Structure 1
Amino acid sequence: MKKVAGVLLAGMLALNLAACGGAKETSGTNKDYPKKPLTIVAPSGAGGGWDKTARSLSKVLTETKLVEQTITVENKPGGGGTVFLAEYATQDKNNPYKLFVSSPPILINHDKKEGNSPYGYRDTTPLAQLTKDYGAIVVKADSPYQDLKSLLEAIKTNPQKVTMAGGSAPGSMDHLVAILPAYKYDVNPKAVKYVSYDGGGEALAALLGGNADAIATDTSSVGEYVKAGKVKVLAISAKKRLGGLLQDVPTFEEAGIKADFTVWRGVFGPKGMKKDEVAYWEEKLKALNKNEIWKKELQANGWESEFKDAADFKVFLDEQDKVVKELLTALGMAK
């Protein structure tokens, strides 16, 4: 199994999310939509990738007047997004005034064995993929682990003495980013001591507070902490080095680990959205993707644009769901 899992981790877990997707639309129209304030939910605490994406999306849609209605951002933490999705898929399935942002955990949480969510992306209407980001292994600036190999050696020597943390549940995205380099370093992924928090902000707080030795998070979540000299990024899961504050950070492969991992982020609506409501967001999000203010927002957050419309996004999610199931099966984590 390990050989198979290794291939999946280095290749499929790389999740070079470059497939296409289609949105299932409920019949009917709503030509007056939207006629009241809207909400975009980040299914996590403040400070993580979902939170920043939701706030950037709301900010730019409002500033550019692409959307005339007021947009409010809400944080709904719990279970790496599973608590919110259970409520959304049952209580808001016909509420087109509440959208949310998500990423690979919406697939992983549904497919994993332990603590899985009965709901997944098929209980929503995928509207668009907006960005791609990458995973990062991060330690405090004064950590004894100043490169990825030294951290992996410590984990290999005594896994229970090194605490890895992340802003998503066990078996979810940050967990997979955390165990990927360890696994490729010949460490049993089940032996890695992983502690989950509700969002990247909480995970970073745990690291800075001395409750974790290292964390797995998004590259876009750590810039301000790097700039302030509070943390050091040991390696990133991109295929090539990034610019800006992380320009000197090696990739996993440069650090001796042959693997990569791409974190997509997209916008979702309720399953019961009407055709005209889906068309409205498709038009607005396409325009957003081309807008210069949005492009500046991407640059400021260290995100890369990766736009897929509703149809392409749905097909893409179908393909990625197969990859996630194969990966979790290889690791003994599939339901």
Structure 2
Amino acid sequence: MKTLRFGKMPALILASALTLTLAACSGSAGGGAASSYPERAITMVAPSGAGGGWDKTARSIAKALGETKLVEQSITVENKPGGGGAVFMAEYATADVKNDYKLFVNSPPILINHNKKEGNSPYGYKDTTPLAQLTEDFGAIVVGADSAFDDLAELLAAIKNDPSSVTVAGGSAPGSMDHLIAVLPAFKYGIDPKAVKYVSYDGGGEAVAALLGGSADVIATDVSGVGEYLKAGKVKVLGISSAERLGGELSELKTFKEQGVDAEFVIWRGVFGPKNMSEGAKAYWTEKLQALSASDAWKAELAANGWASEYKNADDFAAFLGEQDVLIQELLGALGMAK
């Protein structure tokens, strides 16, 4: 084998050769062309039908990333309804385990679906790469504008007297987030959670349609999902699951606690990637989502949807999910719904 010698090579040629070598090495770090990611369009999945919290979050993220030019590649939002997100997870955690170009938004259901007894999902947050938490929201108990119920106490008294007389709807499966929001006040009021007549729909939008169409007496959903209907005078919000009242246009909404029901429920929302996401893609999205959280475009989306900003980076988000997982297990256990 001949030994390559650079002693007589002109300095300019030597420098160029070294530059190319270093560039090649840096391009191959982290499992392949990390520096060139992303090279094509990205899909952001909302694991529900149109109109609900996940759908709005995914579309707001895509819109703000486009407006800020933080991501030059196009972002397509795709709806994948079914089982409160469980149907999508079954596909994503297997078929897309290395797909850096498909991300998704989620919230407590990714923990609830994995820990509940009925309709249990074999896949949870540990089958993904948590990238960032972006918002927090709260649960709401909502009735139509012409409902006979004017506050939470009246509703709970009616359910306690005759559970079958009140149909409560939600945009997620039994044992999932909307169901927990629905039964928590009842449970704290002394009603057997299993006695609450709960009907599930695929997404908050369908649940609202059921309420407005008369197919449900009450819906349990997120506050941000009913803001436009509240402004239009189509619904009344009987109570919200925050620790204290919210600000702005929602400041008149009473909490569960101030109505004598000692219950809270925080609806966080975040972005996830595949379990075996490349280091280059994870680093890219960690940087972009942090920049997004501080942008004026994102702040405008928060204000428009009534969301509170609550940013956590990838590491902090993963640690937070571990803590929340324990709390969800305890909550489902108390309600007799744990696996």
- Please tell me whether residue 284 in structure 1 is matched to residue 288 in structure 2: yes
Q: After the TM superposition, which residues 168-317 of structure 1 pair with which residues of structure 2 at under 5 Å, given as runs?
A: 168-317=172-321
Is the contact between residue 159 and residue 191 of structure 1 (CA under 8 Å) also seen in structure 2?
yes
Match of 1:41 among 41, 45, 66: 45
TM-score, structure 1 length as denominator? Answer: 0.91
Q: Distance in 1 between matches of 2:275 and 2:36?
A: 19
Partner of residue 151, structure 1: 155
Q: Distance in 2 between matches of 1:248 and 1:129?
A: 27
Computing the radius of gyration from Cα coordinates, the structure with the larger value is 2
TM-score, structure 2 length as denominator? Answer: 0.90
1:286-317: per-residue Cα shift (whole Å, max 9, x none)? 10011111112111111011111001111111
Query: Is there any run of 5+ residues in structure 1 with no aligned partner, and where?
Result: 1-26
**After alignment, is 247-256 or 214-223 more displaced?**
247-256
How far off is 1:261 after superposition? 1.0
User: Over aligned residues, Cα RMSD in angstroms?
Assistant: 1.1
Match of 2:92 among 84, 88, 93: 88
Partner of residue 13, structure 1: none
Q: Distance in 1 between matches of 2:205 and 2:229?
A: 11
How far off is 1:257 after superposition? 0.7
- SS of the residue aligned with 2:246? coil
Query: Is there any run of 5+ residues in structure 2 with no aligned partner, and where?
Result: 1-29
Higher relative contact order (CA 8 A, sep 6+): 1
How far off is 1:253 after superposition? 0.9
**Once superposed, which parts of structure 1, at least 4 consecutive aligned residues long, lie more than 6 Å away?**
none
Aligned letter for 1:43?
A: P
How far off is 1:276 after superposition? 1.0
1:176-218: per-residue Cα shift (whole Å, max 9, x none)? 1100111111101110011111110000001011111100000
Percent identity between the aligned chains?
70
Partner of residue 11, structure 1: none
Q: Distance in 2 between matches of 1:254 and 1:309?
A: 33
Is the contact between residue 169 and residue 197 of structure 1 (CA under 8 Å) also seen in structure 2?
yes
How far off is 1:334 after superposition? 1.0
Q: After the TM superposition, which residues 59-70 of structure 1 pair with which residues of structure 2 at under 5 Å, given as runs?
A: 59-70=63-74
The alignment covers a number of residue pairs equal to: 310
How far off is 1:246 after superposition? 2.1
Is the contact between residue 226 and residue 245 of structure 1 (CA under 8 Å) also seen in structure 2?
no
Is the contact between residue 163 and residue 193 of structure 1 (CA under 8 Å) also seen in structure 2?
yes
Partner of residue 15, structure 2: none
